[in-house]
Structure 1
Amino acid sequence: MLIKGYDVGPLVPGESLLVHPGFWSNYLLAMCSDGGCGERSVPEWFGEDGADVDAVSEVLFDRERWPAFRVPAEDSPGAVVIYRNLDGDYGTDYLLTHPGRSCAEQIASWDGDFSGTGLSWHELIRIADSPSLADEGVQDTPTRFLLLLPLLTDPDVPETASARLIAALTAVGAPQDTASIAAEHLLAHLTKRSRHDPTWASPLSGS
């Protein structure tokens, strides 16, 4: 699998992993750790357990096969999430793909903490809610939303943000009672970044 503009490692389509128990804990649990209370984050918040997490980890962090999750959008920039499995430099890279451009643009990374340019809530929703059915990748809206969630750098999310996040988590298998806990922790962590300056050019503009 090739993505022009990202020639770092051996990419493979990762979308089939999204339905495996343990994926969402691997992807989001670390971002729950700064949720503003002393409660320890656990895989059970996502309807998973430690064995699920370990099993999927072996595939997600394979140095010979780097999973890439494509989030194509209709008539607007899409995104790609890549597990960067370099020995000694594991992390997650976030790319934008712009219509009319042959090369993707890396805008952010997660290496235990976020670095790069994030998205406002409205930019994130714009991509999540605009699947391109003509392109390969993730079409399910709740899944698209959760894949993009780590890019959120907006301290002023709407009041409906929590309900939207809870609905997405339950759609991918989280129990209703623990989905609300996970959502609270995720939003507390992500909105605390406060890095999205509305005076900056949007990364979706491609400028």
Structure 2
Amino acid sequence: MTAAPHLPGFEDDELLAGEDLASEPAFWLAHLLLALGHDVEEPEAYGIARDAYDAMVERLFVTETPTLLLRVPFRHGHTACVVYQNFEDECDTDFLVHHPAWGRFGFLGQFGPHGSGPGLSWPELVNLARSEGDPGAEGLQDHAQRFLLLLPALGDADTPVEEARRTVAEALTAVGFRPDSVGELAAQLLGDPEHQPRWCLTPDSPIPICSSDYSPRQIPLALGITEAQARTLAEALRGH
């Protein structure tokens, strides 16, 4: 792993770029299920060796390890970031959006003892997974990996159930899960859309807000950036 560049809000952390973990199926099992609070009793059911899975959990959630950063660059110079932070008494996984011109980050949510979310609608998740970052931008480029990295931030009552399950299953297969395990796991990861919040636009911002009381996106994402920056971010989230 290599040192990651500066990220506002994490000046005191030693950040390491963690994109090399994306080549290991054990990472995806830990990232997707532990972030959502699900225990993994039989990683072998997904085609992942127990010792590989246990080693990955140790790597992600041990206090002594530096803070890991995984990135999804997308349009107009933006980057979605997932940050694994380990403290003495808890572990947090933060989902953020950053642009070098902001001097701050936009908060998508957190998984940990004081979690919050969701942070992405279904169209936003799909657009970020398929988006192209600036030439030379650091981070994940594979569409399946980008999609799965940000999947825990999803929460949207208008998620198209069959399309979403198919998309998740295909992504899981692409990163190395047993094909006969991905259908059930996809349904588990998506949950029931009927119990998810909705997204809407308001006259105050071009960036959609979320109806959930627990979502940081009850207010516009990256509140405090300029109007021009907000419009550019809104376009990027729409895939434009």
Question: TM-score normalised by the shorter chain: which range applies?
Answer: 0.7 to 0.9
The aligned counterpart of 2:127 is 126
The aligned counterpart of 1:101 is 102
Distance 2:110 2:188 in 1: 20
Give the 3-state SS of the residue equivalent to 1:80 in structure 2.
Answer: strand
User: In angstroms, what is the RMSD of aligned CA positions?
Assistant: 2.6
Match of 2:28 among 16, 24, 42: 24
Match of 1:138 among 116, 119, 140: 140
Q: Partner letter of residue 57 of structure 1?
A: V
1:61-116 CA distance string (max 9 Å, x none): 24331111011102264310011111112120111113632332333100167414
Give the 3-state SS of the residue equivalent to 2:107 in structure 1.
Answer: strand
Range with bigger deviation, 109-118 or 197-206: 197-206
Alpha-carbon spacing, 1:47–1:192, altered in 2? closer, same or farther (3 Å)? farther
- TM-score (norm. length: structure 1): 0.84
Range with bigger deviation, 178-187 or 6-15: 6-15
Q: Mark the runs of 5 or more structure 1 residues left unpaired by the alignment.
A: 35-39
How far is 1:192 from its partner? 6.1
The aligned counterpart of 1:185 is 188
Alpha-carbon spacing, 1:3–1:164, altered in 2? closer, same or farther (3 Å)? same
Alpha-carbon spacing, 1:44–1:180, altered in 2? closer, same or farther (3 Å)? farther
Distance 1:19 1:144 in 2: 12
Distance 1:152 1:121 in 2: 7
Determine what percentage of the aligned residue pairs are the same residue.
Answer: 34
How far is 1:169 from its partner? 0.3
Distance 2:158 2:67 in 1: 34
The aligned counterpart of 2:199 is 197
Q: Partner letter of residue 184 of structure 2?
A: I
How far is 1:55 from its partner? 0.9
The aligned counterpart of 1:4 is 8
Alpha-carbon spacing, 1:193–1:102, altered in 2? closer, same or farther (3 Å)? farther
Distance 2:19 2:118 in 1: 24
Distance 1:106 1:4 in 2: 12
Q: Partner letter of residue 55 of structure 1?
A: A
Alpha-carbon spacing, 1:110–1:19, altered in 2? closer, same or farther (3 Å)? same
Q: Partner letter of residue 122 of structure 1?
A: P
Q: How many residues align?
A: 201
Distance 2:144 2:194 in 1: 23
Q: Mark the runs of 5 or more structure 2 residues left unpaired by the alignment.
A: 209-216, 224-240
- TM-score (norm. length: structure 2): 0.73
Determine if contact 1:60/1:83 at 8 Å carries over to the other structure.
yes
How far is 1:49 from its partner? 2.9
Match of 1:163 among 154, 163, 166: 166
Mapped pair 1:86 → 2:91: no
Q: Partner letter of residue 187 of structure 1?
A: L
